[in-house]
Chains A and B, each alone.
Chain A
Amino acid sequence: MKQVSNDNAANRSSYVGYVYHKGEKEFKKEILDSLPVEWSKLHTEGYIHIHDLDAYGKTYNCLTFNLLQNFPYQLFDGLSETGKIIRVFGYFKTLFADMGNEQSGGMAFANFDNDLSTIFFKLGVKHSKHTEAIISECIGDFIIWCSNTHTRMGQTSYYITLNIGLAKNKFARFIAYALINEFEKVGATTFKPNIVFKVVKGINRYPGDGNFDLFQKALLCSAKKMIPTYLLCDCASDEGVAPEKLSVMGCRTRVVDDLFGEKTAIGRGNIANISINLPRLALEVDRDFPNLEWVHKIAKVKERWSEIADMVTEILVDRYHKVCISDADEFPVNRSRQLWCVPFDDPKNVFIHGTLSIGFIGLSEMVEIITGSRYYANDESYRIAIDFVKFMRNYCDEQRNKLNLNFSLLATSGELISGRFSEMDKKMFSPNIDIFDKGFYTNSFHVNVDSGLSAREKLTKEGPFHLYANGGSISYIELNEAPIGNDEGLKELVEIAVAAGVRYLGINFPLDSCNNCHATGVFDLCPICGCENVTHIRRVSGYLEILDGFTSGKKNEVRARTSN
C-alpha cells in the first residue's frame, strides 16, 4: 500500500486529482502574486503559513452543520421506515460530498445521536428491533463511505467529525451505541469519520450517569482504534457553555464565542487560519542579539511576533472581506440546506459568525532557543511558555475588540508545516542547532514528543494552555501499544485531563494492521500470517492516517515519539 507523499496526508492519486493539483498550484501562485508583496513574502519565506491558500477569498474553512434548522423532511415523504433510514444516510453522504466542494475544511455534526433521533422521530421512524438493525447497517455503511471515498478534490476523503455522548432518549442512545459499535467492528484500516465523545458530568462521566455505559463503550473502542477522541465539556475553559452547543472539528478547531450571537458551535465555523512560525522569531532574535539576557530576548520575540501578527490580521481581514463579497451562487448547497446559524442569503451576514484564527507552532522550540531548556523541564521556562501563549491570546482578544470580528487563537496542528518550517529554518540558520535534529517542529504548545514525561505529567503541563487557545487545541497521550480492554485506565486519563484543564483529548498508539489476515498490533511483518502487506496507521494532526502517506515532518514526529 505504498502511496505518494502528498501535502495532505489523506491524498490519493487520480486523473481528477492530478488536474486539481495542477490547478491548485497555479491558483495558489496567482493568489500569492495578487497579494501585497510583504504579505506573500511572509508566506513564501516561512514566517507564516496561510492555510488553504487556494480557498483565499473563495470560501470559508469549516462548518458544524446546523442540521435540524432546515432539515428537508419532505424529501422522505411516502417512504417506508426502512426506506427513510436508508435515504437519510444517503442524504448525509450527498450532503458531505456536496459541502466538501463548497468549503476547504472539516464538517461536523455537533450531536449526531440526538439530532438523528430527532430526525427519525419527525419522520415517524420508530425505535424497534427492526429499525435498530437497519440503522446499524446504515451506520456501518456510512463509516466505510467516510473512510474509503476519495472523491473530494478528486483525491481526498472528507474530513467528517461526528460528536456524540449526550443522547437524551433511548433511540439517541442506541444511535450513539451503534456508531461506536460499528466503528469498532469494521477493520483497523477503516479509521474515519472522526468520532468525538463529549464527556459531561451528570450525563456520562461517572457511574450512575445515564450514558456512563456509552462512555465506557467509547473508551473500549478508543483502546482499539484511537477513536473516539474526547471533548471534555467540564474543563475550566468551557464552563458555562451548554454541552450540546459545544462541538469540535476532528482537527481540533473550536468555535464557541460569537460577538454577534449566542455561544455555540452549531451552524458556525472557522473562516480562515494563519499560523505563525514561532521558532523562526526566536532564531532571529538569538542571531541578532546573542548577548541579551533571555528576559529581553523574549521581549524582542514578542515585538517581532506582534509585527507579524499585525500583518497576519490584515491578511485574515482581507480574506474575510473577500469571502464576504464572494458570489452567493458559489454556495448552492449552503443556500439550499441552510446549515449555518443564520439564513444563507448574503455571505457577509453569514460569515460574520465565523472565526478568524491566528495559529502557532513550535512553542516548545521557541522557548528552547531562548532559554536553552525545554519548557516542561523547569519552572522558569514553563512560566515563559504560558506567558507567551497568554500574550498571543490577549492580542487576538484585542483584535476582536478593535475590529469587531471573531478572532481566536488556534493551537495549530500543522501537519504540513511542522516539517516544512523546520527545514526552511535549518537552511536559513546554523544547521547545528539542536532543535533541527529531529526534522520537525512540535505541534502548537505541545510538550516535545520525546519528553519521556508520564501521561499524567504531560497532561498537567499542557492543561493550562488550553484555556488560552480558544480557537482550538488538543492534548495527546502517546502509548507504546493499544490499551485494549482498559477503559478504566483511559477513564483515569480523562479525569486527569479534565482536572488539568485539557479541553480535547486524544489517545495515540501505533496501530499496524495486516491486510491479509487483519491481525492488529505493532509490527512490520505480520506475526500471524507472516506477510509484509501491513498498513501502519498513526495520528499526527487530528485525523488518523496511513503512515506511508505522511509528509516528512509527520514521519519524523512519529519516529521521535516516546511513550508517556
Chain B
Amino acid sequence: MSDKVILFDLFGTLLQTEQFDYNMVLDLIAERLGEAKKRIYDLASEYRSQYMSDRDKTNRETSFVHQLKFYETKTGKHFAKSYADIEWEAFICCRKERVSEGAVDTLSYLKERGYKMAVLSNSIFSAVTLKKYLDTFYLSKFFVGLISSADIGYRKPSERAFAAVLELIGMGASREIYFVGNKIDKDCEGAEAVGLTPILITEHPSSKAMLALPNLKCLKEVFESSMLYVNAISKHESLVDGPGLRTVIYLQGCKRHCKNCHNPSTWPLESGTRYSVGELKEIIRKTAFNKKITLSGGEPLLQAKAIENLIEALPEFDFCMYTGYDMPDIPQAILSKLHYVKIGAFDERYKTTTRPYLGSSNQKFINLREKK
C-alpha cells in the first residue's frame, strides 16, 4: 500500500542532450554587454575557478544569474534586458535536446494511473527556464513541479536537494517513492541515501544493487508488469464470484462505464492502491485460505501484464477472471492459466439474478478446464 509518487532527473533522463556549447553562451553575453569575447572568456574562467571548482565536493550550486551579475560587476556594464530574458536566450542558444525515447508514453501512462510526478535537476538555470523549455516539448503538464539546484543552491546528491523536491510534492521520504535518474552517484546513490528507491537509466548496468533499465520505455514496461492497482480486496470470501468460496480482488480502472455498473468506484484509473506483484502475492497467500481467487474490477485486462505475472507467481492457486472483453481479446498467456473466466460487458437490459455468477444474461461464465 503506498502513495503513488515518482521523481525524475531531467538531463540525460527525460531529455537527451544533442548539443551543449557553453562558449555560445559566453558569446551571447559578450554581445549583450557590448564587451570583447576574449574579456568574457577570461572572466568565465575566473568565475569557474572562484565559484565552481569545488562544486562536486560541496554540492553547492551557483546560478546563471549569479554569473551574469559577476560579469556586470567586473565589466561595469549592464544588460539592457532582464536576467530572466538573458537566461532564456542563453539556454536556448547553447542547448539542443530531444525527448528521451519512450518518455511521453511512460509519463502518460504514469499520469493516467494517478502518479504524482516532479523533476529535480542539477542546473545553473532556474526552474522557470527549465519549465519553459519543457513546455516546448509539451512535457511540463505531467509534473506537479520542478526543482532546479540553481534556485535552491544545492545540487544532487545533497540531501537538501532531495528535501526540496519532497517538500514540493508534500511528502516525506519513503521507499515507496521512486527516483529515476541516469547518474549513479548524483541521482541514484543520492536518492537511496535519503530513503527513496532509485531507478538507474543506463545502457551499462552498474554492479551496484539497484534497478537499472536501458531506457524509459522499459520503465513503463516494468511498472506495467510489476505494479497492480487495486480498488479493494474482499474482506470476506464471496459465493457469487465463481465456484467455491473465493477471495475477490477488485482491480482499479475501467473505461467501459456500463450503465448501472455495481461498482463505479473502480472506474477511475488514477485512484486505487498500488501493490507490487510481490506484495499482492504475499497478501493473497495469507488471506486466501482455500487458494481460490477471483480477479474482478474494474477491468483486470487493463493491467494484463501484471495480472499475468501475478497468476504465474501463484501456480497452485485457482484463478477466475471477470472481464468485459470477449475470448479473442484475452491474452493467451493469461487464459491458459485461468480456471474460470466470465466474459462480456454488463448490459443492464439483460440484468439477471438467477444465472450463476453473471450480472447480465448476455455474459458468459466458462469453466476453462472442463473445456479442454
Which residues of chain A have a CB within 8 Å of any CB of chain B? 223, 452, 454-456, 479-490, 492-493, 519-522, 527, 563-564
Contacts and interface: CB of A to CB of B under 8 A. Distances in A.
Interface in B259-294: 289-290
Majority secondary structure of chain B interface residues (helix, strand, loop or mixed): loop
B243 to A, nearest CB: 4
Contact of B245 (A480, A481, A492): A492
B214 interface: no
Interface of B: 235-237, 239-240, 243-246, 289-290, 351, 353-357
A481 B359 CA distance: 12
Nearest to A485: B356
20 contacts: A454-B236, A455-B236, A455-B237, A455-B245, A479-B239, A481-B240, A483-B239, A484-B240, A484-B353, A484-B354, A485-B243, A485-B357, A486-B239, A486-B244, A488-B243, A488-B244, A490-B239, A519-B353, A522-B353, A527-B351
A488 B245 CA distance: 8
Contacts of A480: 240
From B239, B244, B289, B290, name the one whose CB has the most chain A CB atoms within 10 angstroms. B239
Nearest to A487: B243
A278 to B, nearest CB: 28
Given A454-B236, A564-B236, A482 B245 contact: no
Contacts of A563: 236
A492 B243 CA distance: 10
Contact of A527 (B246, B353, B356, B357): B353
Contacts of A522: 353
Contacts of B290: 492
Contacts of A487: 243
A454 B235 contact: yes
Contact of B244 (A456, A489, A519, A521): A489
Nearest to A562: B236
Nearest to A523: B353
Given A454-B236, A455-B236, A483-B239, A489 B245 contact: yes
A484 B356 contact: yes
A492 B244 contact: yes
Contact of B243 (A489, A493, A564): A489
A520 B239 contact: no
A518 to B, nearest CB: 10
B353 A482 contact: yes
Contacts of A520: 353-354
Nearest to A490: B239
B236 A521 contact: no
A484 B355 contact: yes
A519 B240 CA distance: 18
A482 B354 CA distance: 8
From A454, A479, A485, A527, name the one whose CB has the most chain B CB atoms within 10 angstroms. A485
Contacts of B353: 481-482, 484, 519-522, 527
A452 B354 CA distance: 26
From A452, A486, A488, name the one whose CB has the most chain B CB atoms within 10 angstroms. A486
A419 B354 CA distance: 33
Nearest to A527: B351
B240 A454 contact: no
Given A486-B244, A492-B244, A519-B354, 14 more contacts: A454-B235, A454-B236, A455-B237, A455-B245, A479-B240, A482-B240, A483-B240, A486-B239, A486-B243, A486-B357, A487-B243, A489-B245, A490-B239, A527-B351
Contacts of B246: 489
B289 A521 contact: no
5 closest pairs, A vs B, by CB? Answer: A485-B356, A521-B353, A483-B239, A454-B236, A488-B243
Contacts of B355: 484-485
A519 B353 CA distance: 8
A161 to B, nearest CB: 25
A485 B353 CA distance: 11
Nearest to A477: B239
Nearest to B348: A527
A521 B240 contact: no
Contacts of A527: 351, 353
A486 B236 CA distance: 16
From A480, A483, A493, name the one whose CB has the most chain B CB atoms within 10 angstroms. A483
A483 B242 CA distance: 10
B240 A486 contact: yes
A110 B31 CA distance: 108
A521 B357 CA distance: 13
Contact of A456 (B240, B289, B356): B289
A245 to B, nearest CB: 32
A485 B243 CA distance: 8
Nearest to A482: B353
Nearest to A452: B235
Contacts of A483: 239-240
A299 B357 CA distance: 51
A480 B237 CA distance: 12
Contacts of A492: 244-245, 290
A489 B235 contact: no
Contacts of A452: 235
Nearest to B351: A527
Contacts of B236: 454-455, 563-564
A479 B246 CA distance: 13
A452 to B, nearest CB: 8
B184 to A, nearest CB: 48
A248 to B, nearest CB: 24
A505 to B, nearest CB: 14
